[in-house]
Structure 1
């Protein structure tokens, strides 16, 4: 009879297996979620691409969004099952154990398989065309003239927050496309994207009011949006549109004590003489030029 102690580890399967889904994280994303200040990670539903084939081609798939990046989730099958185990107490001794087992019982903590996975989810970085998605979802604001009256209030306003929740892109990618389209919200929370004519008229109104007040948009100390809105108090122009146009023409003044100070960016605008305005479209953004 052997006198060596039995050092085996008891292993068993749980009768009720817990459902699990494994997610493989790229190194950069793993570092992000294990940092001292991990960001909020979201999983959003996304329409299946048009070129997807197979029985799941007509369904939806999901994306994972960090604050700045979007990842497509791909289902990967493996040939060997992956077991999720946890420590368990060793089983009680059996009355029919042989003499060797009774002499050297299993005293170590055992392991129990509580879940089994035959696949995992792989993350693939993607660059969604957020601007095209927003163009389809955000109605066009044509202005506040007699020919194009202010759109009536919607029963269910499409707000910026609602769009962000429903579109499968990261917050940063959404914000870049939103700003490039000069999209804005009305006081009632409805999202719009202005037409070229509406942007031209907004620039003209800002220019006219600033000229009448001898107000400079290119002063080194910058100006505030509230100052512009004050000059436009008699103009029926949405405040959100004014802020969007200013954001398209100007940059924030970093060295200013006021967090909301702006200064005209000459790289975005071409200025000469008395201001007039023209606008060009390039891809999905509006390139604004002021000219004499």
Structure 2
């Protein structure tokens, strides 16, 4: 019989009270931000959402809900049971995220779409 304990990692629910949001960046913006000279970005409001701008480029911020929650984990040291033991490492679940923020090309700068009418009006004309 071994005198060592089984190797395990305990998982604790320990929310830290910080409101986390995950931001999904388009590849071209990520490349700009990781370059040697990252651009200055500004955040402005629009009629229906916020807009992130860099010079002539702009992206609208859109919230996407997900059915699969993302759990943020943080390592922590648990207290040992005696002074001679090494503290045990554990994982704390500090937040659960159910939505992400997605950046999409801002369509406000593009031409306004042609209004096609309501669905029932569109099909009622053909009768």
TM value normalised by structure 1: 0.33
How many residue pairs end up in the alignment?
108
Q: Is the 8 A contact 2:79 2:88 kept in 1?
A: no
SS of aligned partner of 2:74: strand
In the other structure, the counterpart of 2:64 is 76
**Larger strand proportion of the pair:** 2
Which one has the largest radius of gyration? 1
Match of 2:116 in 1: none
Hey, what's the Cα distance between the residues in 1 that align with 2:91 and 2:17?
Answer: 14
Task: Measure, in 2, the Cα distance between the counterparts of 1:31 and 1:72.
Answer: 18
Secondary structure of the residue aligned to 1:47 is coil
Displacement of 1:77 after TM fit? 0.5
**Matches of 1:67 and 1:7, distance apart in 2:** 54
Change (3 A) 1:75 1:5: same
> Deviation digits for residues 44-100 of structure 1, max 9, x if unmatched?
11002xxxxxxxxxxxx1111123311111110011221222221124339xxxxxx
2:34 corresponds to: 34
Give 5+ residue unaligned stretches, structure 1: 49-60, 95-104, 131-292
2:78 to 66, 75, 90: 90
- In structure 2, the gaps of 5 or more residues are 111-127
Q: Is the 1:6–1:106 contact (alpha carbons within 8 Å) kept by the matching residues of 2?
A: no
Determine whether 1:120 maps to 2:108: no
* Counterpart contact for 1:16–1:114, Cα < 8 Å: yes
1:28–1:65 distance in 2 versus 1, CA, 3 Å: same
Alignment-derived partner of residue 53 in structure 2: 65
Instruction: Give the helix-richer structure, 1 or 2.
Output: 1
* Per-residue Cα deviation, 1:165-216 (whole angstroms, up to 9, x for no partner): xxxxxxxxxxxxxxxxxxxxxxxxxxxxxxxxxxxxxxxxxxxxxxxxxxxx
- On the 8 A contact 1:8/1:106 being kept in 2, the answer is no
